């Protein structure tokens, strides 16, 4: 009897984990992380690209090099912000870039001089995380677009399936093919509907599939967000230690 209970426990835990995803706070923190990824990724990429292009374009003058240095520092600030997002929203211990950590360590030294500025610039340019922060900007841009695309498709599919009973109950013609009105699911090669839902029992079955799709979407949200946070931590952790919490 004890062996039977023990064997049933993993199944129960798996079912609880699958169906309990809407009731976990981490799910909505992950969703917030993904929703921020798209606009932030575009803003990061646009700002850093403009800075790099301007800096290289003005290298023949005395202005180009400072612009490039400022752009690199801006990329490290972006990486530091992304590390903070990963820590606070995902619980992943992503470290700040080295130059930002060294700034925190030397916060008591407020002496400003040319030598101090040159030393700070040298340390920033020689820190590996300064350059991995630049890579992170490109990765975040790609990740933001991918996350937005996946979320849009998955959420739209879930909502459309969940709306089937309402569409049938209110006799709302979603689409029309020849003389057929109803809730249309898919089309075949000639443009005819694959399945037209016209009855409430059929619509209830479609809505049940929508519930399953919504649960899968929430698990996908958690998985994508975790991947994004781990990627950020990996690019900023030059020691290569595992910073993902148990």
The pLDDT value recorded for residue 171 is 60
Task: For residue 78, give Cα distances in angstroms to 40, 132, 138.
Answer: 10, 11, 11
Q: Output the pLDDT for position 196.
A: 73
Examine the pLDDT at 242 and tell me if it is beyond 50. Answer: no
- In this predicted model, what pLDDT tens digit does every residue of 99-108 receive, in sequence order? 887 665 555 5
State how far the Cα of 237 lies from the Cα of 132, in Å rounded to an integer: 10
- What's the CA gap between 211 and 33, in Å, rounded? 23
Q: What CA–CA distance (Å, rounded) separates 19 from 26?
A: 14
pLDDT in the model for residue 105: 52
Q: What angle do CA 96, 104, 106 make, to 5 degrees?
A: 140
What is the overall mean pLDDT for the chain?
A: 84
- pTM assigned to the model: 0.82
Q: Residue 177 and residue 148: Cα distance in Å, rounded?
A: 31
Q: Is the predicted pLDDT of residue 205 greater than 50, yes or no? A: yes
For residue 63, the 8-state DSSP code is: S
What are the tens digits of pLDDT across the range 31-63? Answer: 999 999 999 999 999 999 999 999 999 998 889
């Amino acid at each position: 009897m004890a062996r039977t209970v023990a064997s049933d426990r993993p199944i129960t835990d798996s079912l609880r984990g699958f169906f309990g995803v809407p009731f976990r706070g981490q799910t909505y923190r992950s969703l917030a992380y993904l929703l921020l990824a798209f606009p932030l990724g575009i803003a990061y990429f646009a700002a850093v690209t403009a800075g790099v292009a301007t800096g290289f374009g003005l290298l023949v003058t005395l202005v180009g090099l400072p612009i490039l240095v400022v752009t690199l520092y801006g990329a490290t600030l972006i990486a530091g912000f992304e590390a903070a997002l990963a820590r606070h929203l995902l619980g992943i211990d992503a470290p700040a870039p080295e130059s930002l950590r060294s700034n925190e360590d030397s916060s008591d030294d407020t002496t400003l001089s040319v030598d101090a500025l040159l030393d700070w610039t040298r340390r920033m340019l020689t820190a590996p995380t300064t350059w991995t922060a630049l890579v992170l900007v490109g990765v975040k841009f790609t990740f933001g677009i991918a996350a937005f695309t996946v979320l849009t498709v998955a959420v739209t599919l879930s909502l459309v399936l969940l709306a089937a009973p309402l569409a049938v109950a209110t006799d709302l013609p979603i689409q029309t093919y020849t003389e057929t009105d109803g809730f249309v699911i898919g089309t075949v090669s000639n443009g005819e509907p694959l399945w037209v839902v016209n009855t409430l029992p059929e619509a209830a079955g479609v809505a049940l599939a929508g519930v399953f799709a919504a649960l899968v979407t929430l698990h996908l949200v958690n998985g994508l967000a975790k991947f994004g946070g781990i990627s950020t931590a990996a690019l900023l952790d030059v020691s290569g230690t595992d910073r993902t919490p148990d």
